[in-house]
Structure 1
């Protein structure tokens, strides 16, 4: 990132503070949920019995640092084998799209997610970490689904 992008990023943190939110559930579960930008959905999950049936629920707002965080989490928590991607896509960033493309295609030699349409889809995750994500994680793509009852069906 260049200095202008860094300055804009820092300004956004002040003007639009978005907390780093994730909720831990059952440590024995093999399922994680990513609600993309749907913070209300994330709150509903955190306050429902569904949290007892999943390992973690969190959001994803960026096509780079956010995806890197998910990759690191999954590599450190080998019990998780399924990632359900739901909720509304992040306008402009298309973080969900990039996560799906990463699972399908990986990264190129520059760390760019292959076939991503996001503006800055460059990761710092290693090829090994990404290979684990691609080969060991079942990705369930229900982007735009915000109905808690429908999402529960994918967990069961």
Structure 2
């Protein structure tokens, strides 16, 4: 049997906890499926509407329980956020130094409350089962029952402490609001655009400098040729 942090799951959300010794967790994305039925086959089941805070809560509740080795993603994709795509992309490719989920297609796929090392632990801990767009309960339950038994994840369960300057607090856990995440994402985009603009300005400056030098050289050569013609 694996281990969990005290009072697992530690982060609140739209989920129902099942048997903490179960080896699977389930995300139903935008769909409202029969959570009570699913909890008979998994440790945790809940929806996930956003590709930032929603994913962070899922990661926090998984790395805090070393029994969980599978994450089954099912239900209807979330329009605009594409949170299902984001969690698949993060498991496949991780996040970059700016916290952006690599290859994610959603609107604001940024992880701001969990570091890269913890994300990589989560990626190693679970195998993700892709049943996005599937709402058939029998098929989902069968997929859970077909999961091969596996050993608990090596290492101690991790308690994620969310932090930040401007935050809301939920049951002792501080979580960045969606508005703040959106603002940070926009700031990152602006910073990136400014950097790109700086690169363009450097290139243009070099071009203008080269054009001026070319003009001077051409002028000097022209003067020399005129002088030579007079001498001849």
TM range (shorter): 0.7 to 0.9
Which residue in 2 is equivalent to 1:79? 67
Deviation at 1:102, TM superposition (A): 0.2
1:60-119 Cα distance to aligned partner (Å, 9 max, x none): 000000001111111111111100000000001000000000000001110000011111
Regions of 4+ moved over 6 Å: none
Which residue in 2 is equivalent to 1:134? 123
Question: Number of residues paired by the alignment?
Answer: 133
Secondary structure of the residue that 1:53 maps to in structure 2? coil
How is 1:61-72 mapped onto 2 (pairs within 5 angstroms)?
Answer: 61-72=49-60
Taking structure 1 as the reference length, what is the TM-score of the superposition? 0.82
1:33-65 Cα distance to aligned partner (Å, 9 max, x none): 1000002x1xx132x2x4222101011000000
Deviation at 1:134, TM superposition (A): 1.3
Which residue in 1 is equivalent to 2:135? 146
Which residue in 1 is equivalent to 2:97? 109
The unaligned stretches of length 5 or more in structure 2 are 1-12, 146-232
Secondary structure of the residue that 1:52 maps to in structure 2? coil
Secondary structure of the residue that 1:63 maps to in structure 2? coil
Which structure is larger by alpha-carbon Rg, 1 or 2?
2
Contact 2:89 2:103 in 1 (8 A): yes
The unaligned stretches of length 5 or more in structure 1 are 1-19
Relative contact order higher in (CA < 8 Å, ≥ 6 apart): 1
Q: CA RMSD in A?
A: 1.3
Which residue in 2 is equivalent to 1:45? 35
